[in-house]
């Protein structure tokens, strides 16, 4: 059950899409939104200010830290005010939080009493990323214990949900989450099992669990690189939401063969929900 949704925002266009999406989800679930703006302490300390001071030929930190801090705080207040106004227009309950810290760490900490985190696919540096995910979003996706929904759309789509299942612990959590969401959203569920040796076994495991939920479910078993197959399948079926167990393998394996989660973060053609 989704009753508290954390919505980090930096005022960028991608983050604003996340806000719009969160408002739509909150309306559907009668949930409360918690808007969060984090003033990045890395902009207030260390090399950044020393570089500015050196370029201007002044002593380090001479008035710049205080002035920059004030500017960033005022900017954050304006961002959160816009967030509140948008929630009020939609009739969605909300509160706002402004704090300073390391952005990804602070988002994860603030999410501990939330049921879901909703974020835009990238932040204020989106123009430099050429469509790839921002480091903050990826860091939150990797560290958060709460489900993280990452979107480039401003509202939920139709009723086609896709969950990838490989029998792992995180995939089982994803399957349970998918069943619950499909029941609440009245959506059809597609289960994708990618594996030549165990695909049929995983399909039967998923079917055994889902049969009791009385959902409209379609199963696909195929072979190939899971990173590419999952993203391609989501595009082919025009999925409205892709649900994955987040970072289900060891960091050593991810380093050697790559991460399915990281690939989906950067290439999924639809909103992506990551669960643990």
Q: Residue 257: what pLDDT?
A: 35
Pair (47, 182) in one structural domain: no
Low-confidence ranges of the chain (pLDDT < 50): 52, 125-132, 250-258
Pair (84, 169) in one structural domain: no
Among residues 151, 169, 200, the one where a domain terminates is 151
The residue segments making up the domain with residue 244 are 160-275
Pair (90, 205) in one structural domain: no
Q: Residue 123: what pLDDT?
A: 55
Pair (109, 193) in one structural domain: no
What count of other Cβ atoms lies within 10 Å of the Cβ of residue 203? Answer: 19
Q: Residue 12: what pLDDT?
A: 93
Pair (199, 138) in one structural domain: no
Q: Residue 138: what pLDDT?
A: 87
Among residues 127, 151, 175, the one where a domain terminates is 151
CA 269 vs CA 6, 131, 175, 242: distances in Å: 23, 12, 20, 9
Among residues 132, 151, 170, the one where a domain terminates is 151
The rounded mean pLDDT for the chain is 87
Helical segments of the chain, H only = 13-29, 47-56, 64-90, 103-110, 135-143, 169-185, 199-210, 226-236, 251-257, 260-267
- Domain of 268: which CATH number? 3.40.50.620
Q: Residue 60: what pLDDT?
A: 52
| Three-class secondary structure assignment of 7-43 | EECCCCHHHHHHHHHHHHHHHHHCCEEEEEEEEEHHH
- On the 0-12 / 13-18 / 19+ scale of CB atoms within 10 A, 165 is buried
Domain count, the chain: 2
**d(C-alpha 1, C-alpha 4), whole Å:** 9
Task: Give CB contacts under 8 A, 24+ apart, made by 123-126.
Answer: 123/10, 123/12, 123/14, 123/15, 124/10, 124/11, 124/12, 124/15, 126/12, 126/13, 126/14
Pair (166, 145) in one structural domain: no
Q: Residue 24: what pLDDT?
A: 96
> Which residue, among 185, 183, 182, 164, has the nearest Cα to 173 in the 3D structure?
164
Counted residue by residue, the chain has a size of 276
Which pTM value belongs to this model?
0.88
Pair (195, 122) in one structural domain: no
Pair (55, 139) in one structural domain: yes
Pair (83, 101) in one structural domain: yes
Q: Residue 129: what pLDDT?
A: 42
Q: Residue 42: what pLDDT?
A: 80
Pair (140, 203) in one structural domain: no
Pair (131, 57) in one structural domain: yes
Q: Residue 41: what pLDDT?
A: 86
Count of CA atoms in the C-beta half-sphere (13 A) of 276: 14
Pair (85, 135) in one structural domain: yes
């Amino acid at each position: 059950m989704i009753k508290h949704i954390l919505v980090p925002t930096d005022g960028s266009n991608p983050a604003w899409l996340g806000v719009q999406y969160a408002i739509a989800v909150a309306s559907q679930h009668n949930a409360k939104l918690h808007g969060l703006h984090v003033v990045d302490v890395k902009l207030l300390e260390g090399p950044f200010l020393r570089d500015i001071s050196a370029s201007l030929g002044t002593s380090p930190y001479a008035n710049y830290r205080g002035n920059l801090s004030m500017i960033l705080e005022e900017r954050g207040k304006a961002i959160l005010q816009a967030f509140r106004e948008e929630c009020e227009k939609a009739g969605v309950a909300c509160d706002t939080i402004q704090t300073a810290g390391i952005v990804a760490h602070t988002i994860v900490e603030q999410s501990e009493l939330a049921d879901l985190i909703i974020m835009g696919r990238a932040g204020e540096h989106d123009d430099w990323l050429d469509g790839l995910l921002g480091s903050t979003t990826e860091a939150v996706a990797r560290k958060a214990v709460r489900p993280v929904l990452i979107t480039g759309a401003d509202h939920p789509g139709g009723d086609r949900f896709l969950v990838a299942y490989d029998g792992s612990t995180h995939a089982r959590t994803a399957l349970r989450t998918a069943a619950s969401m499909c029941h609440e959203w009245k959506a059809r569920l597609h289960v994708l099992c990618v594996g030549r040796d165990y695909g049929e076994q995983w399909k039967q495991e998923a079917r055994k669990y889902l049969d009791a939920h009385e959902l409209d479910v379609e199963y696909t078993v195929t072979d190939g690189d899971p990173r590419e197959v999952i993203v391609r399948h989501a595009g082919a079926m025009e999925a409205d939401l892709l649900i994955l167990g987040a970072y289900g393998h060891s960091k050593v394996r991810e380093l050697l063969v790559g991460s399915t989660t990281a690939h989906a973060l950067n290439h999924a053609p639809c909103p992506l929900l990551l669960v643990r």
